[in-house]
A and B are shown apart, each in its own frame.
Chain A
Amino acid sequence: MTLHELTAEATEIRKALLTMIYHAKAGHIGGALSSADLITALYFSVLNIDPSNPTWEERDYFVLSKGHSVEPYLVALARRGFFPIEELSTFYRFGSRLIGHPNNQVPGVEMNTGALGHGLSIAVGMAIGLKKSKRKNRVFALMGDGELAEGSIWEAAMAASHYRLDNLIAIIDRNHLQISGSTEDVMTLEPLKDRWESFGWQVREIDGNDMQQIVQTLKSAPFAPDRPSLIIAHTIKGKGVSAMENIALWHHGVPDKTLYETAMNTFDQLQKELNNE
């Protein structure tokens, strides 16, 4: 896909996740919107995957450590062909396999996540296992910034550099907000880049809502031989719906009819502009 097409795809994913959350009357909308561009880039440009064979031996592995941002993940999997798009309407419904966090009963989902601070350890284990088997698959993990307060993340960060996991690429959705407010008010994360570098990671900082920067950076990984790569992706929580942007209250929240329709119109307008470019 071209950058232009990827940007259009990200907009379609935002529309679909907004619709899912609106109808389900539940979801973690802020982080879903902040991470939508990252997930779009991964699933439509970067990951080596085969939707017709989700357990393909040579696939790249993806772990969504910030499991509550499940909505763009599910939409991307469906739109990529892992399961029917119509199934997205069952999100949160009784008995549906599309629940509020990733669940590996869904084709394409590797691991069940949802409790924060688990994903990087899992990704480290995958990367160690792949290296031991001399397989070339890569492992990607997407973390939230709020979850970096979990000690287990730093246990995994230490192990990743100890084992020289250059097949591991981690991304932080650095939207600077968590449920109670600013990450820096809740628990200081900065100097974040220095912290990761001191743990032995090669770090790049990008605008995580800029498709060109995302794709270019992801495709240039690993950033250094024998070292794990980290992308601190600065994003805007609630990205794309101006009434939600940078507001901690929209960590989770359901738009009312007016806001939903306004947001959908905005996205439609954006698609029109993209089509005219």
Chain B
Amino acid sequence: MSELRSCREAYTETLRELATENPDIIVLSSDARGSCTLNGYVDALPEQYVEIGIAEQNLIGVSAGLAAVGKKPYVCAPACFLTARSLEQIKIDVAYSHQNVKILGVSGGISYGALGASHHTLHDIAALRAIPDIMVIIPCDAVQTQAVLRAVSSMEGAAYIRVGRDKIPAVYADRPEVEPFTLGKATVLREGRDVTLAACGELVHYALEACNLLAERGIEARLLDMASLKPFDADAIIKAAKETRAIVTIEEHSINGGLGATVSQIVCAHHPTRVRTLALPDEFLVTGTSLELFAHYGLDATGIAASTADLLTFLE
């Protein structure tokens, strides 16, 4: 397996390349240059950086104003603050006003596991999917993160991209034959006819490991990478519902209103089948590292494989 790499570093590396080519790109942050790995960018392109200080509402409002005069703002800040404190600015100043603002939420989900619920972001899919005219994307590794950024940078309109904090294994580095990201499309990472695993974000690589554990038990699982939460590939889900016995969704998000809810809604409307949602429970979590929390809540490879096998046993 290739070396571990964080999505935020991959993002800022590509952002720097894009900004070097395009002087209209302006990066903004709220005293989070370090968290967003922007120090190198700021040193290299100081005129294309705007520091806002710890003021996330102003951060988004200013970015909308920059877009309104023709700049291409890229906001980078911790996902927990961006998608709660500045949610109204994202809704009105960016999405409703149709401004071309790209928003990167770093250290999303439970990256800041031990810092407590103030720093967890387990509501962003639910909150942002309910706002029209903003793309919602959660890439699963550094390679896909860079593909996502290149894809959205060529499009007008608002986008929210959430990445985690830690260095993680590359899912796509060893798969040159697979296109790492297409907006609105699921990526089939593994074919299988017994069950479908639909995952997004950092949990995709655990889901991939889980597929291997299941294969050892004779269960062939299909794995869908659902990085594009909005627009969402309903067709891939309907196909999975028709062709496999059940769907297990896996996400670093609250069990309410995320990937599982989205998949269930589609399945119920088009081809009812059993859906099991693996996510974080509707409670303030115990604290620990994200790896400890994934294991505790059954979201690591062992947990995903066990839940999937259990579901198939139940269906027999």
Contacts and interface: CB of A to CB of B under 8 A. Distances in A.
Interface of B: 26, 47, 50, 52-53, 55, 57-58, 60-71, 73, 88-89, 92-93, 96-99
A136 to B, nearest CB: 12
Interface residues of A, number: 33
Interface stretch (A31-39, A112-120, A190-198): A112-120
Interface stretch (A9-17, A153-161, A268-276): A153-161
B147 to A, nearest CB: 28
Contact of A104 (B53, B69, B73, B97): B97
Given A125-B64, A159-B52, 13 more contacts: A61-B68, A110-B68, A111-B65, A115-B92, A121-B65, A122-B65, A122-B68, A123-B65, A129-B66, A137-B69, A152-B58, A155-B53, A155-B58
B69 to A, nearest CB: 4
A156 B26 contact: no
Contacts of B55: 152, 155, 158-159
Contacts, number: 104
Interface of A: 61, 63, 104, 110-115, 117-118, 120-130, 132-133, 135, 137, 151-152, 155-156, 158-159, 162
A127 B65 CA distance: 8
28 contacts: A104-B98, A111-B65, A111-B68, A111-B93, A111-B97, A111-B99, A112-B93, A118-B92, A121-B58, A121-B60, A122-B64, A122-B65, A122-B93, A125-B62, A125-B63, A125-B66, A126-B69, A128-B62, A129-B65, A129-B66, A130-B69, A132-B26, A137-B69, A152-B55, A152-B57, A156-B58, A156-B62, A159-B58
B69 A129 contact: yes
Given A125-B68, A126-B69, A158-B55, A152 B61 contact: yes
B34 to A, nearest CB: 20
A113 B88 CA distance: 11
